[in-house]
Chain A
Amino acid sequence: MEASGTTFLRDTDVWSDLQPVPQNDGPNPVVPIAYSAKFEEAMGLFRAIQALDERSPRALDLTSIIIHLNSANYTVWRYRRLVLVALGSDLWDELNFVYDIAMENSKNYQLWHHRRWCAERLGKECGDGELAFTELSLSKDAKHYHAWAHRVWVLREYDMWEGELDFCSRLIQKDMLNNSAWNQRFTVIRSYDKLGGLAAMLPQEMEYVKKHIWLDTDNESPWRYLHGLYNASAVDMHARTTGGSQPGLSIQGLREFAVLVTEKNPFCVHALSLLLDLEMQSIVTAINDEGNRSKTEGGQDSGTEASEGTTAQLKSICRLSIEKGRRLCSRLQEIDPLRKKYWHFKDGQLMSIAQRWE
């Protein structure tokens, strides 16, 4: 049943027994509500149905009509579910209904929640269809937040990660600036055990991300991804107290890459920022080395010539890094004036380390 053209619902026999209930809306009910006539009528009938708690085929039709007119009204969706349950409706058909609504406008929470409710009840059998549905939504808007959330739920719920890394690659190939696809890529590597975890994927991912940075050095997404790989690897290494080297992740390799990028694009904030991080890293390492050294020596040979020599050596590494870091900070303040204060803060961190060491 469609409320199409100029036909009003009251002109059909189906609704002749019901008196529409007017909306008592908000703090100023004196003013008549200016719903377009058809919407007003449908909502009036809905309120009447709701008051009777009528869970019938015509109630289902009515919710279809209203949802077509306004797909964000959560109460109507909720009532629809009550009716679907009462009628024992086929939820495969319901997926088609959601599909139709999504083709009109899929930017609302209610539609996706409803879709998920159906999918939960249909079980794994609907998994492929759900992935296809999200793929279709993402083909129209590749950053569609609800579609991605639904997709992650399907992948996780039905353990369907297998083709997902390729899916991410395809989307990134289509649009390298798609941050959602980069985020998904990280999620896949973290979630799909068969890939062997971050450590196993690191060499491949480092190559992948560097290649994409090189294609557009100002693209924030792969830089964040690189940073994520780098940070997560550091955490993983820390967790496995045995340490060991991470193939694909060498500080020197990262530094060389960042330098290469700055030669290509001297205004690349992210490359300069990575260089700054690496200088910070070497300062922290030098400080830790010094700390460990004093601990193992237990203060016994402190003051000896050899010990003083090591300390002096670490200090000089540190001093050099602080100098380099501070030069980077002043360059960043110059080329990224919007975030000048952030780079000033980083500079302050370096200065306070410098003061502690002197």
Chain B
Amino acid sequence: MASPSPSPSVKAQAGIGGNNPRTTLLIDKHRSYIKSLDKDTQSLDYMMTEHLRMSGVYWGLTTMNILGSLGEMDEKKVIDWVLKCQHPCGGFGGNVDHDPHILYTLSAIQILALYDKLHLLDADQIAAYISGLQLADGSFVGDEWGEVDTRFSYCAISCLSLLGRLDKIDVDRAAAYIASCKNFDGGFGCTPGGESHAGQIFCCVGALAIAGALHYVDADLLGWWLCERQVKSGGLNGRPEKLPDVCYSWWVLSSLVILDRVHWLDKDRLKAFILSCQDEERGGISDRPDDMVDVFHTFFGVAGLSLLEYPGLKHIDPAYALPVEVVQRVLSRQRQTPA
């Protein structure tokens, strides 16, 4: 097994009193790291990620919410900017001047859900945009250019569920298409025949959970495959013989939580692995110990710890990738005012 053990940096080993600061979650550091992100425009990262800013903002804000600090962000600026990224078709781009895509439509809806501002959207218009992306076989394209991927099935189902408009697509066919991407190892790929990959598995299991179609999943077989992703360092990989990476703490764990089998892996070792990937100076979490941190891994690390019930964190919903309280608020409001 390719499982290099975490090698704490010399810096970390030389922590005050010999204590490794990477054994607890550095909540204040992560807060200030997230808050620094839109000021840190000198970085190459910022330049190269312009087109996916919508997802970046969703990762950052959801992290802040889980840390109990969403109030520290500039709500009005965020909402104004999100709304500016919407196109007449109803879909959202990854930034101003970027084309609409289902990936960023989901991130936009998630951001508005965090702020309890879904009423600002025309749900029927967005639902029409999304239902227009469904193909006859039940799959979804990401935009009018025709790329098909189970990631987009997840986006479609999650968006419409948050908007209370799941009835606008053929949910049965959507679920059947996802099932057609199931492999002999119990996992799921991007399209039929595609190799099982923990990221795709999250999308498929999450979508099936929201759609009420988990009967397509062989929970024991997939549960074991997911547990097998844990390597000796305690971290999780996304496919056999790949290196562990903090983002799989989310993709694997959320699937296991949905399948009610998260206790099958060693939670304490995984917690320790995620914590060892923190940058104790700047804040933020990286893919592996001592790598460069980014908002993507910071979100998945914190969200993973939330699923592991790390003290002081709000609970995150494994299927919607939003705080449980946000999902409950959205869904209970739908019950009060049906579409």
Residues 1-57 of B at the A interface (beta carbon under 8 Å): 1, 38-39, 41-44, 46-48, 50-53, 57
**B312 at interface by CB-CB < 8 Å:** no
Partner of B38, one of A28, A39, A78: A28
**Complex Cα spacing A149 to B183, Å:** 14
A341 and B263 within 8 A (CB): yes
- Interchain CB contact under 8 A, B81 and A75: no
> What separation, in Å, do the CA atoms of A187 and B194 have in the docked complex?
8
**Residues A25-47 near B (CB distance < 8 A):** 25-28, 31-36, 39, 43, 47
Identify the stretch in B63-71, B169-177, B264-272 within 8 Å (CB) of chain A at 4 or more residues: B264-272
The answer, among A28, A190, A227, for a CB contact under 8 Å with B77, is: A28
Of the listed stretches A177-185, A294-302, A309-317, chain B binds A177-185
Given contacts A70-B48, A117-B146, A342-B223, contact A27 B41 (CB under 8 A): no
Q: Does B334 contact A (CB under 8 A)?
A: no
Q: Is A220 an interface residue (CB 8 A)?
A: yes
Instruction: Give bound CA distance, A180 to B48, whole Å.
Output: 29
Q: Point out the residues of chain B lying under 8 angstroms from A124, CB to CB.
A: none
Q: Decide if B242 is an interface residue (CB 8 Å cutoff).
A: yes
A179 contact from B41, B195, B265, Cβ within 8 A = B195
In the complex, what residue of chain A is closest to B96 when comparing beta carbons?
A24
Give the interface SS of chain B, mostly helix, strand, loop or mixed: loop
Closest chain-B Cβ to A119's Cβ sits at a distance in Å of 12
Interface residues contributed by chain A, number (CB under 8 Å): 62
Cβ-based interface call for A145 (8 A): yes
From B130-138, B224-232, B276-284, B325-333, the one touching the partner chain is B224-232
**Residue in A closest to B264 when the chains form the complex, CB atoms:** A342
Partner of B101, one of A35, A39, A74, A186: A74
- Given A26-B38, A34-B42, A143-B242: A149 touches B190 (CB 8 Å cut-off): yes
> Which chain A residues lie closer than 8 Å to B197 at the CB level?
145
A243: Cβ under 8 A from any B Cβ: no
How far, in whole Å, are A74 and B143 apart by their CA atoms in the complex?
Answer: 11
A116 CB, min distance to chain B CBs, angstroms: 7
Q: Which residue of A lies closest to B269 (CB)?
A: A338
Q: Flag if A338 contacts B265 (CB, 8 Å).
A: yes
B193 touches A34 (CB 8 A): no
Chain B residues with CB under 8 A of A268: none
Q: A74-B51, A117-B145 are in contact. Are A339 and B228 (CB under 8 A)?
A: yes
Minimum Cβ distance to chain B for residue A86 (Å): 15
CA distance A103 to B170 in the complex (A): 40
* Bound CA span A145–B230, Å: 20
Q: Size band of the B side of the interface? A: 35 or more
Q: Which of B39, B93, B225 contacts A75 (CB 8 A)?
A: B93
Which partner residue on chain B sits nearest A183 by CB separation?
A: B195
Cβ-defined contact, A220 with B228, below 8 A: yes
Given the complex, which residues of A lie within 8 Å of B167, measured CB to CB? Answer: none
Whether A81 contacts B145 by the Cβ 8 Å rule is: yes
| Number of A-B residue pairs having CB atoms within 8 Å of each other in the complex | 157
How close is A32's CB to chain B, nearest CB, in angstroms? 7
CB contacts (< 8 Å) of A324 on chain B: these are none
Chain B residues, Cβ within 8 Å of A220: 228, 240-241
Bound CA–CA A148/B200 (angstroms): 14
Contact indicator per residue, chain B 141-157, by CB within 8 Å of chain A (1) or not (0):
00101110000000000
The CA-CA distance from A36 to B42 in the complex, in Å, is 9
CB distance from A194 to the nearest CB of B (A): 17
**B309 CB within 8 Å of chain A:** no
Q: Which listed residue (A34, A116, A218, A342) contacts B47, Cβ 8 A? A: A34
Query: Does the CB pair A35–B194 fall under 8 Å?
Result: no
Query: Which of B193-245 touch A at CB < 8 Å?
Result: 193-197, 223-225, 227-228, 230, 232, 234, 239-242
**CB within 8 Å for A339 and B227 given contacts A34-B42, A180-B195:** yes
Cα separation A33 to B52 with both chains bound (whole Å): 16
CB of A92 within 8 Å of the partner chain: no
| A319 CB-CB contact with B under 8 Å | no
Q: B-facing mask of A105-120, CB < 8 A → 1, else 0?
A: 0000100010011001
Residues in B with CB closer than 8 Å to A34 are 41-43, 46-47
**Complex interface: chain B residues within 8 A of A228 (CB):** 183-185
| Complex CA–CA separation, A183 to B189 (angstroms) | 10
Considering residues B101, B183, B184, B192, which has the most beta carbons from chain A within 10 angstroms of its beta carbon? B184
Complex formed: what's the CA distance from A234 to B255 in Å?
26
Contact of B41 among A32, A113, A183, A340 (CB under 8 A): A32
Contact of A74 with B94 in the complex, beta carbons under 8 Å: yes
**Could you say which residues of chain A place their CB within 8 Å of the CB of B225?**
224
**A339 pairs with B265, CB closer than 8 A:** yes
Q: How far apart sit A28 and B95, CA to CA, in the bound complex (Å)?
A: 12
7 residue pairs of the A-B complex, CB under 8 angstroms, read A27-B38, A33-B41, A75-B94, A221-B241, A224-B225, A338-B232, A342-B223
Closest 4 CB pairs of A and B: A228-B184, A187-B193, A342-B264, A28-B38
Q: Which residues of A contact B (CB under 8 A)?
A: 23-28, 31-36, 39, 43, 47, 50, 70, 72-75, 78, 81, 109, 113, 116-117, 120, 143, 145, 148-149, 152-153, 156, 177-180, 183-184, 186-187, 190-191, 218, 220-221, 224-225, 227-229, 231-232, 337-342, 345
